[in-house]
Chain A
Amino acid sequence: MKFGLFLELSVSRPATPEAEQRAFRHSVEDAVLADKLGFDHVWVVEHHFLAEYSHSGAPEVLLGALASATERIRLGHGVVVCVPEINHPVRVAERIAVLDIISSGRADFGTGRSSTWTELGGFYGDPDRTKQSWSEYVETIPRMWASPLFSHQGVTFSVPERQILPRPVQQPHPPMWVAVSSPGTEIDAAERGLGWLGVNFSGYDALAVRIEKYREIMDGLELDSFRHKNNTVHTVNFLYCHEDADYAAERGGKLATEFQYLADQNLHTREVVVTPSYPTLGGIPTIAQRDAGSEKAKGVPEGACVGTPDQIVETIERWQSIGVDGINFIINSAEVLAADEVRRSINLFAEKVAPRLKSGVVTMAGA
């Protein structure tokens, strides 16, 4: 079982320069701590215009800083918005390669297409074409790294014959992932040999069926020699670990509620744009709330890693039993929890949870 952090860089209003600087500083400190404690991944999201929810408009810069500040943790650029109006694919290939070089082969490459109109509309992106552009990016970028000379006449972008430089350290290329939220994206992932990077919350049963389908396609997939198959399922979760169950539920519930409330400010493409490319799903999904337990547990989603070490072990074992290989944690939201409190939670997790679920974890409790 692998564990990682998702750094969202959320900043509460009013987002003063000092508040933004503090959020970035705390994120670097959290990543350094996670590196020392044996976490496997730190992912930095890419979002634009999402006030409060995420001020992470240039993750490649922060990842450069993390490459320098950490020693062994893998660095996830996740996810790069694969839409030409936002990121040209050649620039994406260059950025991932540089990150891989300066981190000595620790880069992970997350891909996606943006789910909000706030972002797509802000760049005048075409919602009808994002699935197509994403597919074209994930097919061609490995070829950019593998070919001495690259050219492409495509549907969503074209490039005349050029050398795409530099090349990544990892061969044939850094592990590639796709953000999976809507049902069906896991099929797109499996058909292209991409890792499943879960970015929203799902119940156990629904996820188990989807993972089974993903594995079935992956197992039968054969890729060109310049492509790396990443048959891996990582989900996202909240983390709040404390020895007192009620206290953990209260604090973890606060974290989950705040995160959801900030997310709800964003305008989802499927809410307002009439396009088959973003199915309506019959409504806007929200985090499934626990319907049982104490009043303090309200706001804590089902399957959340919130509770005592024993409770979290039990929760993760259940995720593991349905085929999840790793979990990336949201550890704070708009600093609704104090930085020290977050670190106590991470330390306790590393000391009393992780060693029971994985081998080889380097625990440095109290770091």
Chain B
Amino acid sequence: MPLDGVSQIELSLAGPLSPRTSRRPTPQMPATVLQLATEAPIEVCRSLLPPALHPLNPGVLVIMAYEVAATAGHGSFRTVEVGLQCRAGARARRYVLGAAVDDPEVAADLEDRWGYLSTVADIKLERRYERIDLTVDAGHTVLRASLLGPEPVTPSAVLYVAGLRPLVFQDQPWIAQFERSFEISRADRGRPVVSEFDSQWWTGGQTAGLSATEPISGSFTRVDVTLNPTRFLIAPGVSRAADTRPLADVVG
């Protein structure tokens, strides 16, 4: 039998799901996106995934940082997500363990309209000729990572898989699909390096054991990103994501 996850979702780490949850996509937002993928210990990944999901062989840690340009609706802001690549049934997904946002108003809006839980932190995404550096400081440095040797690559070589995150509705945990659409106008690739990673911080205190082991690949893209409405919810305790329902069937 393939390895299912074994984690029980802690409600305190799950975002709110409510009838206010947005049913409309956001306008397209111009942004730059840094994605870093490294291997991670498979047993730790398994311990962080709910039974509906199963880890990949080997485990994969994915760090995604967005720098969203100012528009008429909001100022510029940055977000960073840490997640695990996994499978929901046969589908490739990324289960988000923790997120940081550098703008308190944006963080509150994401939580209210998207159920997206995050912590406000200082985020720096700095592009240099030979590297792109990412730092997240939440009173102490919780992440320091880089993309080394960026070189142009065809945008079609970059793949973003849909995110999943825990939500709670009427005291019941769910896993929501967090879909974003990307129109990539420019892409660079390079080698990921994670030099500091606070596992306890990013996993909400669940484990100190999550780490970036072997580097896999990274990209830095210029995109127009759209945050799409949540459409599906997965019952976290049912193996192979076999209990997946439309949002309306749960929330009404």
Contact = CB atoms under 8 A, between A and B. Distances in A.
Interface of A: 12-13, 49-52, 117-118, 121, 260-262, 264-267, 270-276, 279-280, 283-284, 286
Given A49-B57, A121-B58, A265-B57, A279 B157 contact: yes
Given A49-B57, A272-B37, A274-B157, 9 more contacts: A50-B57, A51-B57, A274-B189, A274-B217, A275-B157, A280-B157, A283-B92, A284-B90, A286-B90
A12 to B, nearest CB: 6
Contacts of A262: 2
Q: Considering the complex of A and B, which 8 residue pairs feature the smallest CB-CB distances, nearest first?
A: A274-B189, A280-B159, A273-B217, A286-B90, A267-B56, A274-B219, A272-B37, A274-B217
B170 to A, nearest CB: 32
B97 to A, nearest CB: 17
Contacts, number: 82
Given A13-B1, A261-B2, A272-B216, A280 B156 contact: yes
A13 B217 CA distance: 30
A261 to B, nearest CB: 6
Contacts of A283: 92, 159
B15 interface: no
A266 B60 CA distance: 11
A267 B85 CA distance: 9
19 contacts: A13-B1, A13-B3, A117-B58, A117-B216, A118-B57, A261-B240, A262-B2, A265-B56, A266-B57, A267-B57, A270-B159, A271-B159, A274-B157, A275-B157, A276-B154, A279-B157, A280-B156, A283-B159, A284-B92
Given A266-B57, A275-B157, A284-B92, A52 B2 contact: yes
B54 A265 contact: yes
A261 B241 CA distance: 12
B91 interface: yes
Contacts of A271: 85, 92, 159, 161
Interface in B56-77: 56-58, 60
Contacts of B58: 117-118, 121, 267
A323 B240 CA distance: 37
A276 B54 contact: no
A265 B3 CA distance: 8
Interface in B186-210: 187, 189
Nearest to A49: B57
Contacts of B56: 265-267
Contacts of B90: 260-261, 264, 284, 286
A283 B156 CA distance: 11
Nearest to A261: B2
- Name the residue in B91, B92, B158 with the highest tally of chain A Cβ atoms < 10 Å from its Cβ: B92
Interface in B138-163: 153-154, 156-159, 161
Contacts of B54: 264-265
B52 to A, nearest CB: 14
A212 B57 CA distance: 37
B154 A284 contact: no
